[in-house]
């Protein structure tokens, strides 16, 4: 079984309309592998706030409805994703953020990838382009 650090940018694509999202097919293929037990996802505790925020934004833009968002959050909660506290990742994340001019939020995912040895899978192509040569970061479009 392959482990990945799951970026909220990938998980959001499992639920949001493909007409509004790039890389939906790739994200859904990864979800199928998870459901089939071929991959396992781990997340920093920040994941929950980020995914809920992505759904909130989609609701505000008229791209998602509240009941669907609540169902999606319930589905994710039932996936029993191993969750790592951001407090234990913060020192490394802050170093990554300041050294590579990335947000601390993104850097927490990268710090978890470094700590766990599981690559971060992200839909953020710029993040992957900046960090993939130095850290275990994979862009969803290249998986």
Provide the residue ranges of all domains of the chain, joining segments of one domain with +. Answer: 2-142
pLDDT in tens, 94-110: 999 999 999 999 999 99
As a whole number of angstroms, the distance between CA 71 and CA 15 comes to 10
Token duo for residue 92? 């490394």
User: What string of DSSP letters covers 28-88?
Assistant: HHHHHHHHTTSEEEEEETHHHHHHHHHHHHHHHTTSS-HHHHHHHHHHHHTT---EE-GGG
Q: pLDDT at residue 18 above 90? A: no
2-142 CATH fold? Rossmann fold (3.40.50)
The pTM is what? Answer: 0.94
């Amino acid at each position: 079984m392959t482990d990945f650090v799951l970026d909220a940018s990938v998980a959001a694509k499992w639920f949001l309309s493909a007409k509004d999202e790039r890389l939906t097919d790739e994200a859904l293929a990864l979800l199928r592998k998870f459901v089939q037990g071929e991959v396992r996802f781990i997340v920093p505790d920040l994941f929950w706030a980020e995914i809920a925020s992505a759904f909130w934004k989609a609701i505000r833009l008229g791209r998602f409805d509240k009941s669907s968002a609540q169902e999606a959050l319930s589905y994710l909660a039932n996936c029993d994703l191993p969750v790592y506290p951001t407090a234990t990742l913060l020192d490394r994340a802050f170093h990554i953020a300041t050294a590579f001019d990335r947000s601390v939020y993104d850097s927490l995912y990268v710090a978890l990838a470094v700590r766990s040895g599981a690559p971060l899978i992200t839909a953020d192509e710029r993040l992957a382009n900046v960090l993939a040569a130095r850290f275990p970061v994979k862009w969803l479009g290249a998986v």
